[in-house]
Structure 1
Amino acid sequence: VLLHVLYEHAAGYALFRVQEMEEIGMLLPQVEESMTNIGKFSSMVKLSAFLPFRSAQSALENANAISEGVLHEDLNLFLDTNLPAKRKKVLLGVGDPKIGAAIQEELKVICQTGGVVVEVIR
């Protein structure tokens, strides 16, 4: 299973790939500890893709959609383009369960909101 994490920011969307998911998923205390060590963190988490918002208006529309648990077409296209084609082997970490449910319904990607995902987003 490949773990990717969606990070929503005022500047745009970022998609990170988490290395060695099986190993780190079982070792949450070690993951929490490694988040304070940039060397360990950067070996585990890699930026996979970034989509900057085209304008302040676009940023506002996307932020509103996220807060309402609605999958904006910008995010839909970004994830559809940048997630692996074999979606059954992908686990997408998201910060909010509502947007996770919308992504899961539209893109057929399993979404997770707890555990390692929280640490990576933090």
Structure 2
Amino acid sequence: MTLTACGIRPTSVLTGAEAPTVSSHSVTIYLVKPERDGLVRRNRDYTGTVDITTAMNLLLAGLTDEEQKLGLVSELPTTSAKAIAVQNVIVMPQGVEPPSSKWAVFQVHCTALASRAKVAGVESLPDENCP
């Protein structure tokens, strides 16, 4: 049996750069209803590496324009400081006081629960408080 080719000369393997990758995730946070009588579950798209602090850091970054237009509220202070993870416990950024209002505690608890973590200094609540 004879094999023929189409006249293209063999070349060495040509390698290129790594293929670009983008990792996009939906991250869950909890905000307070405009009437301040309950929580609203919000999913935000996040591009990049996600760990257990990502949702908490998005929550601490404040409301998006859309969330403001909807009248949603956060009872947590807005900060660009980042929470950190120590095992499965989220430690709030230095200078951020523990939540003091009922809804602020619920926001932190439910957001952490959605990330499968606990927040240092925030008491665990029954899951039925999280919509």
TM over 0.5: no
Looking at secondary structure, tell me which structure has more strand per residue: 1
Based on CA coordinates, which of the two structures has the bigger radius of gyration?
2
Normalised by the length of structure 1, the TM-score is 0.36
Greater relative CO, 1 or 2 (CA 8 Å, sep 6+): 1
